[in-house]
Amino acid sequence: MSQNSRFRHNNRRNQQKQKTVQDINFSEELNPVVKVFQEYALELDDKHDRYERIVKLSRDITIESKRIIFLLHTIDGRKNNRSKVLEEAEKRLTKVIEVNFKSIALELTGQDPYQYRCAYSPGLQEFIEAYSFMEYYKSGADEKSDKMSDWMFLQQKMQYERDDKLNRVPDDSQESIESPNQLDIESDVKTVTQKFEFFVDPTEYILGIADLTGELMRRCINSLGGGETDVCLETCKVLQQLYSGYYKI
């Protein structure tokens, strides 16, 4: 076989392969099963992207909660800085609720929160630990505040609202009326308030309170090193109550 005939044969074979591939691609586009799996792929990509965004938000919550816990450990009776530290800690915790948890709630709007539970669970538990630790210090300063907030209280604090602007649909009767004065664009926009929330799982709350025991033990050791034996005994009683409560679960 000459070189020219071999070249024509290879060229003809390549053209047949390209035509076969095009026919396969065209048939796949018309195949309903392929279309369904393409939709599944888009849905999975959207879920994975949302999961990663929630993980990043949860990581930010974890970092800020740890910083707040370290801040609360700086409370010293000899420095008389309890009220100042508690005020700053409460302000920062409120900001976490209004910013970070709100962003997660927006991501979970219309979604099943249990599918993304592992994404935000570490941040939520760390936040509950910091929030309950702050309330523990406040209960020591205020005799009327002898209880820590339960998960329903946190659930109420994580209720949000968002204003969505929607275009008004004009009536047929209004379209037929010709007016020399055109209405403003703002009058054609309708504001709708949408309510959403961040779901606080009771199990996550229980695990967060369990993590609080470690911070109470650290406070007990620090107070003992500073000569505050009464604070150490008080903290030990709280730990005994927590142990008794968890033992009954």
pLDDT in tens, 20-75: 545 555 556 667 877 888 888 888 999 999 999 999 999 999 999 999 999 999 98
**How confident is the model at residue 183, as a pLDDT?**
47
CATH number for the domain spanning 217: value is: 1.20.58.190
100 located within any domain: yes
Full DSSP string of 81-148: -HHHHHHHHHHHHHHIIIIIHHHHHHHTTTS-GGGGHHHHHHHHHHHHHHHHHHHHHHHHH-TT--S-
**How confident is the model at residue 226, as a pLDDT?**
77
**How confident is the model at residue 79, as a pLDDT?**
81
177 located within any domain: no
Angstrom distances, CA of residue 67 to CA of 71, 100, 124, 125, 231: 6, 15, 15, 14, 23
**How confident is the model at residue 55, as a pLDDT?**
97
**How confident is the model at residue 24, as a pLDDT?**
54
Q: What is the pLDDT of residues 110-153, one digit of tens each?
A: 999 999 999 999 999 999 999 999 999 988 655 444 566 778 88
131 located within any domain: yes
97 located within any domain: yes
In the chain, pLDDT over 90 holds for what percent of residues? 45
List the one residue out of 84, 81, 90, 166 whose CA is nearest residue 127. 90
Contact 162, 194 (CB under 8 A): yes
**How confident is the model at residue 29, as a pLDDT?**
64
Domain encompassing residue 216: 33-142+151-163+195-248
pLDDT of residue 184 exceeding 80: no
pLDDT of residue 4 exceeding 80: no
Report whether 126 belongs to an annotated binding site. no
Overall number of domains in the chain: 1
pLDDT mean across residues, the chain: 82
Highest mean pLDDT among 69-78, 88-97, 234-243: 88-97
Contact 212, 134 (CB under 8 A): no
Residues contacting residue 95 through CB under 8 Å, at least 6 positions apart: none
pLDDT of residue 159 exceeding 70: yes
Report whether 90 belongs to an annotated binding site. no
56 located within any domain: yes
pTM: 0.76
24 located within any domain: no
Decide which of 162 and 61 is more confident: 61
State residue 191 phi and psi, 5-degree precision: -95, 125
85 located within any domain: yes
78 located within any domain: yes
